[in-house]
Amino acid sequence: MANALEIKELKKEYGSKAAVNKISFDVEEDSLFALLGVNGAGKTTTIKMLTGLANPTSGDAMIFGHSIVNEKELVKTFVNLSPQETSIAPNLSVRENLEFMAGIYGMDKEKTARKTQEMIEMFSLQEVEKDKAKTLSGGWQRKVSIAMALITEPKLLFLDEPTLGLDVLARRELWNVIEKLKKEVTIVLTTHYMEEVEALADKIAIMVSGEVKAIGTLNELIEQTGTKNLEEAFVSIAGKN
């Protein structure tokens, strides 16, 4: 299978501190890749560089063959993210939020209406589509936030801790949504929830202090560390540093 993302020696320094230190890995097309790490491991900085929100200090990444350094504006047209914090226009309705994002990515009226309806149905947003986004619960807001990213038809979607702060039911519901998305778009997911990774990820990378310390499938990581499950494998790898 072809690679959606190829990261080569990507580095980001803030002052003298390297937030991300020469990381390299590939993500296969139409797969879900999980990026794990404790707080401050460099996950969000990596996503920021890959989505054009921060310029790398050195190195590069190719997204569907296009450089994030030399073709940043082009890459932005087929990459999208659902940030860690809820990123919706609070006084706009759910439908208006979706239409707004479609418009920003240059869709015409007809396509905007069609894609908006598609997202509302895909994420089961019918009962809240006319509600102002700020009045929704955390679970609904996260669904809207992901729908806003997906409406732009990205080829690569970054989900930065999409289930953070959600209750068990809302989290499970969102897992089902992400599971469905896997068939349509390549996803890079960051999370602190190990069971989320076990349920969804095809491949996992563990970041520690800005570096990728381990990479592989769930079984490979468990095997490498001689542990029983992902949580133990994660502690074994991240705890060494």
User: By the criterion CB under 8 A, which residues form the site for another protein?
Assistant: 51-55, 73, 76-77, 79-92, 96, 100-101, 103-106, 132, 148-149, 152
Q: Closest separation between CB of residue 93 and another protein, Å?
A: 9
Instruction: Indicate the residue among 142 and 171 with the shorter CB distance to another protein.
Output: 142
Instruction: Indicate the residue among 31 and 84 with the shorter CB distance to another protein.
Output: 84
Q: Is the torsion defined by CA of 191, 192, 198, 199 positive or negative? A: negative
DSSP state of 192: S
Instruction: Indicate the residue among 103 and 165 with the shorter CB distance to another protein.
Output: 103
Instruction: Indicate the residue among 65 and 90 with the shorter CB distance to another protein.
Output: 90
Give yes or no for a contact between 150 and 181, defined as CB atoms under 8 angstroms apart: yes
Q: Closest separation between CB of residue 83 and another protein, Å?
A: 4
Show the DSSP H helices in the chain as ranges.
43-50, 72-78, 94-104, 109-122, 138-150, 168-181, 194-200, 218-225, 230-238
The torsion defined by the Cα of 87, 79, 159 and 3, in degrees rounded to 10, comes to 180
Q: Closest separation between CB of residue 112 and another protein, Å?
A: 10
Q: Closest separation between CB of residue 140 and another protein, Å?
A: 16
What is the number of residues in the chain?
Answer: 241
